[in-house]
A and B are shown apart, each in its own frame.
Chain A
Amino acid sequence: MSERRIGVYVCHCGTNISKTVDVEDVAKYSQGLDGVVVSKDYKYMCSQPGQELIQKDIKEHGLDGVVVAACSPRMHEPTFQRAARNAGLNPYLVEMVNIREQCSWVTDDRALATAKAKRLTSSGIAKARLNRALETDFTAITPRALVVGGGIAGIEAALKIAASGYEVVLVEKEGTIGGQMAKFDKTFPTLDCSACILTPKMVEVVQHPKIELMTYSEVQRVDGYVGSFEVTIEKKPRDVDLNLCTGCGDCTEKCPASVLSEFDEGLSMRKSISTAFAQAIPNAPVLDRESCWYYTGKAKCQVCARVCQANAITFDNEPEIVKEQFGVIVVATGFDILRPEEGNQWGYGKYPDVFNGLQFERMSNASGPTDGLLVTSQGKEPEAVAVLHCIGSRDENYREYCSRTCCMASLKFAHLVKEKTNAEVYEFYIDMRSFGKGYEEFYNRIQEEGINFIRGKGAEVTKKGEKLVVRGEDQQLGVIREVPVDMVILNTALQAREDAAKIAETFSLQQGQDGWFMELHAKLAPGKTAVEGVFLAGTCQGPRDIPDTVAHAGGAAADALRLMAAGQQEMSPVSAYVVEEYCTGCKVCISLCPYDAISFDEDGKVAVITTALCKGCGACVASCPTNAMHLRHFEDEQILAQIEGVFAG
C-alpha cells in the first residue's frame, strides 16, 4: 500500500469529456485505487472554482499528489502546476491524464471511452504515487538579441528590441535589408507605397546605436542554450569595404558583366557589382562572384576597383567567421513564392506575358524594370489582363493551405492595372477572402472600379494567335469561360523557403508538414518555439500579410524582451542526473548526448552532467547499462508504474 495521499480530479470540460466519458464513474473508480484519498469530478477543473476545489483539498487532506484527468497536459499542465504551487504543493507532484484529446474526442462508444479513461487515470495515479518534488533552477539571460532575417519582420523585431535598450545584431543573408516587402509597389488595403513605409524603417535600423547590422552574412551554427547562445556567423566576402564605400555607383556603371536581376524577378539585368535597389541599406554594392569576369576567369577586368575613388574594392577576400553571444534569438527568415514548374497548365515560364505576383509588383513599381509602366513583352499596353488567385494555394497538388495574402494582392493588382491602363481586368477567384481590417471595404471599392469577377479558378492558360486564353469554370453561370487577354498574373502560393530545412537544423526548429517553422502553440504561443529562447517572427512561421507580420514580429520581440528584462529564466527540472554509486564508468552515455552535456570525471571514474546543457531527452538514461543515469520526472520506476497502471483494472 502506498503511503501517498493523492487527490484525483476528473473534469467534465463542459460536455467535451462528460458527453462520452462517464466522469462520475471514473472518479468513483479512482477512489478505490491505492494512495487515493479523495476523488472528485467537476464541470470545469481549469476554471477558478475548479482550481480552488483542488487547492482546498490539498490543504484539507494534506495531499502530496494530484491527478487531474482532463485535457492534454500540453494545454493546461502549467495551469494546474501553478494552482498546486499556490496551495503549497510542489508543481511536479501534479500529474495530468489526457481524457479529452486522447479519449473523449476520439471515441464514440461511451462504455469503451469510460473504460479507457479509467485505464489512463489508473496509469496516471500509478505515476503520481512515485512522482517526486522537483526544484527549478534559473539560468541568466545575456541581454543581447540576435535577429535573423532583415525583412519587415526582422526589422520590426530588431527596432522594438533596440528601442527597449537592448543590443541587437541583425543578420541578413542578402547584401541589403528590406526583404520581399522592398519589391512591392503599393500595399493593400491603403494603397500606400511600400517603399514609403519600409525605407524609413531600414534607415532607422542602420542608424540605431543599439543595432549592429550584418548583411551578406549567414548563421552557421548555434551552440548553448537559452540565455547563453553562442552563435557562429559567417560574413561572406562582399569585396566592398562598407567603411570606405560611398555608394556613388561608379563601379556599377562601369562593370561590364550583366546577369538577370533577382530583385526584379528576372525582368531586368543587373551588373555583377550592384546594389539590389536604390534605397538599399547599407548603400553599398555586393560583388557577385558567380558572374564577375575576374572571378569566372573571363578577364582580368577589375575595372570596378580601378574606378572606385574610395578604394573600397579589393579582391579574393576570405569569409570572416565571428562568434557572438546572445541571450535570445528571433528567427525571421521569411518566405518564398511558389514558381510553377515546367509544363504547368498556366503557361508560366512558357509565355512571356504570364507573370507571377512579384514580377507584377516590380513592373508596377516606379523604380522597377519598366519604370512603372504595365506593358506586354511586345512593349504594348495590354487590352485585357487576367489575375488568377490561388495558384498553388488551396490546391492538393501544390499547397493545401490558403496563402492569406493573394485575394487582397489580386484586388490591388486589378486596381493598379485600371489605374495605369485602359485594360479590362478579369479576376479568377475561388472565394474572396477579405478578412482583415479594411479589407472588405477595399473589396467593395475595387468592385466599383469595373473589374470582371469570375468565380472559378483559372484552370489553364493557352495561346491563341496573339492572345493568351484563360480557361476556367464560371461557377456562378455554370459555364466554362475562355477569356482572351494580353497579360496573365498568377498569384502563386507563399511557401517555406528552399533553405528552411537547413535553417531549422541550425536553430533546432521543427517544420510542419508544409515546411513552415512550428510554433510552440498555434494559439497561445504563436511566436515561441519548442526551443527555449528562440522565437519566430513573420512568414517563416506561416503565410501572413504585412500588418499581421508586423504584429507577429512585435509579439516575438515582446517574448524576447520578457526574457531579457527578467534577466533569468526558470529551467525545466526535467533533466538527467547521475547516481554515482551505480555509475560504472563505461562511457556509453558520453557520445550519445546530442548536446555534449555529459563529460567524464577521470578521477572519480564517473559521468558528470552539465545540467544547463541537458534538455532532458533521456537518451542516455535508456542506454545507461547500470541504471546510473536517471531522468527527473521520467524515472524508470515511474514509467514502469504507468505501464502497470494501464493493466491494473
Chain B
Amino acid sequence: MNGYEPKIVAFLCNWCSYTAADTAGTARRKYPANVNVIRIMCTGRMEPTFVFKAFAEGADGVLISGCHPGECHYLTGNYKAYKRSVGLEQVLSDFGIEPERFKMTFISASEADKFASVATEITETVRKLGPLGKVRDRVKSYDEVFVTGGEVSG
C-alpha cells in the first residue's frame, strides 16, 4: 500500500464547519491534503445519496460537519443531518464499509484546531484501512474472482 493517498470527501456547512476550515487555513494549521471539501449552505441539505455517491465514485472516507447542536444557522439543519447520519452508519455497515470511514461532527466557525484534527484523524484512520476503489470496479472484480474468466456486463 505504498504511496496510497486516501481520498476523503467532506460536506461542510457554509456557516460553521466551512468557516472553521477557512479559519484553519488563516491560522496556517496544517492537516493532510486528502480532505476535499464540498460546500453546502447547511448540513440539512446533505442527502444520504451524496454519501453513497462519494463512496461509489471512490471516496475512502466521507465527513459531514455542521454547526454544534443548538447553533445551526438554520436552527435545526444539523439535527436533520445527524438523523440521516445515524441511519447512514447502519446502512453503510451493511454495505461492508468500516464505521471509521464515515463521520459526522459538529465544528463551529471558531474551532479551526478541531477541524484540522478531525481532518487528520479521518485521513490517518482511513489510510490504515486501505483503499476502497470505485463501486463499479469492485463489483466487477468480485465476479472475476467468483466467475472464472467471466466478463459480466454487456
Contacts and interface: CB of A to CB of B under 8 A. Distances in A.
Contacts of A439: none
B36 A513 contact: no
B105 interface: no
Interface in B20-53: 21-26, 28-34, 36-42, 44-47, 49-50, 53
Nearest to B83: A623
A640 B74 contact: no
A501 B40 CA distance: 25
Given A115-B33, A594-B76, A642-B38, A619 B44 contact: yes
Given A100-B25, A106-B31, A510-B71, A574 B36 contact: no
A513 B22 contact: no
B57 interface: yes
B33 to A, nearest CB: 4
Contacts, number: 146
A72 B32 CA distance: 18
Contacts of B89: none
Contact of B80 (A98, A101, A510, A592): A592
Contact of B109 (A100, A106, A510): A510
B25 A106 contact: yes
Contacts of A505: 70
Given A98-B37, A101-B25, A119-B36, A631 B110 contact: no
A530 B109 CA distance: 12
A245 interface: no
A507 to B, nearest CB: 12
Contacts of A257: none
A106 B30 contact: yes
A584 interface: no
B30 A108 contact: yes
B58 to A, nearest CB: 5
B62 to A, nearest CB: 10
B57 A643 contact: yes
Contact of A622 (B16, B30, B39, B47): B47
Interface string A501-527: 100010010111100001000000000
A3 to B, nearest CB: 24
Nearest to B80: A619
B103 interface: no
Nearest to B13: A617
Nearest to A122: B36
A275 interface: no
A513 B113 CA distance: 12
A380 interface: no
A107 B58 CA distance: 22
Identify which of B32, B47, B67 gathers the most chain A CB atoms within 10 Å of its CB.
B47
B73 interface: yes
B134 to A, nearest CB: 8
Contact of B39 (A73, A106, A621, A640): A73
B61 interface: no
A108 B28 CA distance: 10
B65 interface: no
Interface string B94-105: 000000000000
A464 interface: no
